[in-house]
């Protein structure tokens, strides 16, 4: 008998890779999709097309983490073995603009899901998409599962609630519920308003002569960036462990946004030189003297997370999970994808 998985956030970056992985493993996959006025299924389109090999293995259900009766119905209807709760208002800067909605989805949404599990009596394992943003103003370098949290945005504070309610329901009701504390993971499917993809798309456009300047905010913040397809494999492994537990998934490397920009241009044999300071700093192409990067303070956040670097030793030891794609290769994958993709449309 095939195992049944239910994925919230299936139309997102991680949801789409996870759906692919689970279908390849022979699972029947149910996904929760939001009604939207414009098409929001581009990332899973290839899995849902008619005559697809997964045609009778993938099912989509309208739903929303703000609607608990709907979650109850979906659980009763699908009776999953594994739930992956990936749905979220996932943009940190946007969470400062819509803090209450971010809490509704990213915090209360999780308790709605866990309570639906309790009420329906469905016996499913539960994966929660926790985040390195919980570490915020970091209390320790590198960060591990025991590093104290210090969230620095409405997004991170909401995710902190979810982290703890997962642990509480595990202890109180013996539910197999685990947190994956995932550090930033990127890909050619990353949303275009996150910094890595914003850079890869715009560098490709600059090289193709379609745009002049890439405007960014804080280019000195440091992130631990990995490759998303490897991280969804880690999510699956977290739910295959003997006991529910919490795991960091990361690369144990950290790089600045500035380095991401420099490495992206290097893919086209272009070197960036920096001139000026603060909001007046500019990135200039050494070959032509053209300004291609500038600072726009509208992208600064009221509180910033300066440095993230995760120690994934526990996941390596207990799950046999390790990241394979490191920084330079990740940049190359994203930039080359965007360059080829944009060029095709010309
Ligand atoms: P993403 O691309 O932004 O996808 C988010 C998904 O959530 C989309 O499918 C979105 O649907 C759905 N969603 C948003 N609000 C919803 C609601 N009210 N009800 C139901 N669905 C809703 O995010 P991602 O990068 O794949 O990340 C997946 C999860 O991991 C998120 O919870 C994120 O916070 C967390 N996380 C991400 C990272 C990372 O580096 N990527 C690291 C740590 C944790 P639409 O397509 O309709 O918008
Ligand atoms: O920002 C700086 C920005 O939005 C990274 C989400 O998936 O990962 C993600 O959150 C850094 C920050 O990701 C721009 O200030 C500069 O320091 O790509 P980001 P994030 O905030 O780290 C975590 C783990 C999650 O859980 C989240 O869901 O880049 N930055 N200039 C910029 N960021 C953006 N977005 N746009 C800029 O123009």
Q: How far, in Å, from the CA of 222 to the mean position of ligand 1?
A: 22
Residues of the chain with pLDDT under 50: none
| pTM score of the predicted model | 0.98
Instruction: Write down the pLDDT at residue 52.
Output: 76
pLDDT in tens, 75-98: 999 999 999 999 999 999 999 999
In this structure, what DSSP letter does residue 102 have?
Answer: H
Atom of ligand 1 nearest to the CA of 106: 32
**202: Cβ below 6 Å to ligand 2?**
no
Q: Which pLDDT score is estimated for 54? A: 81
The active-site residue, picked from 11, 131, 196, 254, is: 131
pLDDT score recorded for residue 49: 80
Element (H, E) at 168: helix 154-173
Look at ligand 2, atom 38, and give the residue with the nearest C-alpha: 216
> Residue 168 burial (CB < 10 Å; 0-12/13-18/19+)?
middle
Q: Is the distance from the beta carbon of residue 131 to the nearest atom of ligand 2 less than 6 Å?
A: yes
CB 167 within 8 A of CB 124: no
Q: How far apart are CA 86 and CA 108, in angstroms?
A: 14
CA-closest residue to ligand 2 atom 1: 195
Contact 186, 199 (CB under 8 A): no
User: Is the shortest distance between the CB of 217 and ligand 2 below 6 Å?
Assistant: yes
Environment class of 199 (CB within 10 Å of its CB; exposed 0-12, middle 13-18, buried 19+) = buried
List pLDDT tens digits, range 40-79. 999 999 998 867 788 789 999 999 999 999 999 999 999 9
Nearest to 200 by CA among 220, 186, 221: 186
pLDDT score recorded for residue 335: 98
126: which residues sit within 8 A by CB, 6+ positions away? 83, 85, 113, 114, 117, 166, 169, 175, 176, 177, 178
Q: Ligand 1 test: best mutation among 17, 87, 198, 235, most atoms within 8 Å of CB?
A: 87
* CA–centroid distance, residue 190 to ligand 2 (Å): 11
Residue 15 to residue 129: CA distance in whole angstroms = 11
For 149, residues 6+ apart whose C-beta sits below 8 A from its C-beta are 134, 135, 136, 160, 163
Rg of the chain taking only CA atoms, in angstroms: 20
Assess contact for 292 and 285: CB atoms under 8 A. yes
Annotated catalytic residue 84: no
Residues 6+ apart with CB under 8 A from 340: none
């Amino acid at each position: 008998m095939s195992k049944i998985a239910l994925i919230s956030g299936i139309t997102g970056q991680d949801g789409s890779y996870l759906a692919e992985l689970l279908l390849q493993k022979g699972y029947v996959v149910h996904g929760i999709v939001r009604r939207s006025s414009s098409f929001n299924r581009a990332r899973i389109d290839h899995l849902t097309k008619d005559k697809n090999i997964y045609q009778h293995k993938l099912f989509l259900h309208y739903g929303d983490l703000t609607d608990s009766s709907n979650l109850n119905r979906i659980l009763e209807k699908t009776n999953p073995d594994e739930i992956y709760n990936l749905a979220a208002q996932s943009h940190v800067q946007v969470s400062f603009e819509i803090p209450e909605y971010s809490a509704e989805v990213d915090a209360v949404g999780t308790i709605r899901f866990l309570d639906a599990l309790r009420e329906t009596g469905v016996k499913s394992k539960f994966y929660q998409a926790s985040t390195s943003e919980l570490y915020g103003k970091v209390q320790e370098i590198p960060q591990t599962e025991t590093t104290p949290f210090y969230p620095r945005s409405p997004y991170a504070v909401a995710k902190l609630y979810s982290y703890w309610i997962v642990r509480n329901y595990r202890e109180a009701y013996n539910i197999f519920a685990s947190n994956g504390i995932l550090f930033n993971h990127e890909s050619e499917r990353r949303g275009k308003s996150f910094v890595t993809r914003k850079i890869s798309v715009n560098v490709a456009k600059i090289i193709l002569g379609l745009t002049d300047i890439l405007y960014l905010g804080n280019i000195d913040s440091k992130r631990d960036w990995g490759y998303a397809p490897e991280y969804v494999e880690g999510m699956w492994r977290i739910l295959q462990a003997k006991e529910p537990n919490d795991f960091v998934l990361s690369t144990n490397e950290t790089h600045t946004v500035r380095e991401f920009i420099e490495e992206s241009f290097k893919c086209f044999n272009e070197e960036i030189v920096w001139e000026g300071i603060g909001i007046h700093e500019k990135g200039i192409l050494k070959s032509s003297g053209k300004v291609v990067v500038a600072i726009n303070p509208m992208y600064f956040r009221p509180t910033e997370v300066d440095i993230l670097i995760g120690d994934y030793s526990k996941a390596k030891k207990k799950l046999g999970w390790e990241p394979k794609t490191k920084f330079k290769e990740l940049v190359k994958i994203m930039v080359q994808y965007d360059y080829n993709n944009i060029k095709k449309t010309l």
